[in-house]
Amino acid sequence: MRVSRLALLCLMAFGGPALAADWVEIVAGRERSVEIDRNSILQSDPGTKVAWGRIVMKDDEVESAGYKSVKALNRYDCRAATFSTIKRVYLDPDQNVIREERVVEPKVIRVTPGSVDERLFREVCQPPTASRLAQIAEQAGEAAAAQAGTGATESATTVAGADKDGSGKSIVPQIVKPLSAAERQAAVAARIAAREHAASRRVAADGHGAVAGGAGGVGSGGHDEADPGGKSADHATADGHAEPIAATAEKSHKEAPARATKPEHGGPTERTQLAGKARPATKPKARKIESGSAKPRIVLARAERSGHGSKAEGNTPKAHVAWSYHGAGAPENWGTLDPQFAACGNGRRQSPIDINDGIKVDLAPIQFDYRPSYFRIVDNGHTVQVSVGDGSSVRVMGRTYDLKQFHFHRPSEFRIDGRAFDMEMHLVHKDLDGRLAVVSVMLERGTAHPIVQTLWNNLPLERHSSYAPEIAIDPNELLPTDQRYATFIGSLTTPPCTEGVLWMVMRQPVQMSPDQISIFSRLHPMNARPIQDMAGRLVKMSR
């Protein structure tokens, strides 16, 4: 009898009763790690294997990403050195499924030498070593013994349906006598081999692998330029989302919005396991201060860490000034508001600048690889920020950066040949090493922009309250048709004004209607940092 796809899916997802997931770290990044489940690797067709991979976000990136991990079920062609994603599954810190995405038309991706995908490919397609087989067999035997309640008797038919060949008969002879450790290990190894053989036949009969998780790769997000993870107000949602394994983003530009990635509000940097409960990133933890005062104070631990609250000293709280664009928290005072903001006052490569004295050269085009995506929009008090799902990226100067978020400034922060524009949009990107790259697009009065109108239509009614509509946008429509640009090294234009940011300022502006500009102006009349000193920096411009 033919085993159903559901049964095969369960087998692949959980490895059968005897085999638990064996997640092995392939890449350890600052914000996320890439792993593969060795116990999920199964033969599909001759020369083809399927396996689960995942990206696990660091704790401080979960909030902006909206999920703790994203699993991807990939099919690898070990002879052609290609792979395709069958399904993606997004999970929260408690390992509850947030959403699943079935890839209707899997895209075949060639493995790029030196990439994360190549490391995953090698892990999946290389034959298992004798020591590895013995390890799997030992683990399976122990698990099977524990499940049976005793290690004295082992049956080759422990896994229901897994050791059947379709006729209902056992492939491996039943063992009824007590086994030595060596005999038990050999029996379990034989059972595993038989199960994989049967599974491969079922997969081949079904015509395709089980659908259970992952993206062609595995998962990334952002808020401000300073906080791609979504914790700051202006820039980096890119860190705010988790990112798929190198292959996660391989969706076609032609995919319908229904298959676009949907980000969840939430924030990515040290490896943590999904198992066990993680403290919700969105729930402040209260700490009670007991003292002799008549009224004990409650201090939000999260507020203290973010600099928006102060720790009680006796009964007198410390005065704190939050950064802003006017008053005591204005840009000229940013460097003195917090020790972490020191670069805002004494940095030598600060942004924005007036781009008026660059050298004109033949700059290589920015390779935009943007995909349709769902989005989450929030007015964070400093700007309107839009977080997007994983899968969109740019490649420039030999590095690939994932799009995390984009946000707006009024008026423009940068100037081109002394000219300021009505507004400016910053598309914040981050690579696996945590380096930031920001694409700046100038916005001027003209015709209405359809994407901007979609965003304004879905603005939350209150600040700091985010909203994720069931609507997808295509980031490609945010870019000008003429993609010549100026590039230089600068900083975030919001605290902490971190330097070393790669800036790419597009030369041609994009139009917005006066009404669309007016809507933003009502929310943020002015949220632009003044022009900063060039300090002898080199600026290159497309000819």
Q: What are phi and psi of 232, to 5 degrees?
A: -100, 175
Q: What are phi and psi of 64, to 5 degrees?
A: -75, -30
User: DSSP letter at 9?
Assistant: H
CA dihedral 401, 404, 409, 415 (to 10 degrees): 0
- Closest by Cα among 46, 44, 20, 17 to 163: 17
Tokens of 112: 């790029």
* Cα 491 from Cα 495, distance rounded (Å): 10
Half-sphere exposure of 356 (CA within 13 A, CB side): 13
* Cα 19 from Cα 143, distance rounded (Å): 7
Q: What are phi and psi of 70, to 5 degrees?
A: -130, 125
Q: What are phi and psi of 337, to 5 degrees?
A: -75, -30
* Cα 12 from Cα 52, distance rounded (Å): 8
CA dihedral 69, 465, 228, 27 (to 10 degrees): -10
Runs of H (alpha helix) within 482-538? 514-523
The sign of the dihedral angle between the CA atoms of 35, 432, 381, 345 is positive
Identify the active-site residue in 382, 409, 426, 429: 382
Q: What are phi and psi of 384, to 5 degrees?
A: -95, 120
* Cα 260 from Cα 243, distance rounded (Å): 14
Q: What is the DSSP string of 142-211?
A: HHHHHHHT-SS---TT-STTTTB-SSS-BSSPP--S---HHHHHHHHHHHHHHHHHHHHHHHHHHTS---
How crowded is residue 302: how many other Cβ atoms within 10 Å of its Cβ? 16
DSSP strand pairing (373-379 vs 384-388) = antiparallel
Q: Residue 382 catalytic?
A: yes
Tokens of 354: 């007036």
- Closest by Cα among 214, 217, 202, 216 to 6: 202
User: DSSP letter at 455?
Assistant: H
Amino acid at 281: A
Please tell me the total number of residues recorded for the chain in this structure: 543
Q: Is 157 exposed, middle or buried (0-12, 13-18, 19+ CB in 10 A)?
A: middle
- Closest by Cα among 38, 210, 58 to 120: 38
DSSP strand pairing (436-445 vs 510-512) = parallel
* 160 Cβ contact list (under 8 Å, min separation 6): none
Please, are residues 342 and 420 in contact by the beta-carbon 8 Å criterion? no
Tokens of 237: 């949602």
Catalytic annotation, residues: 382
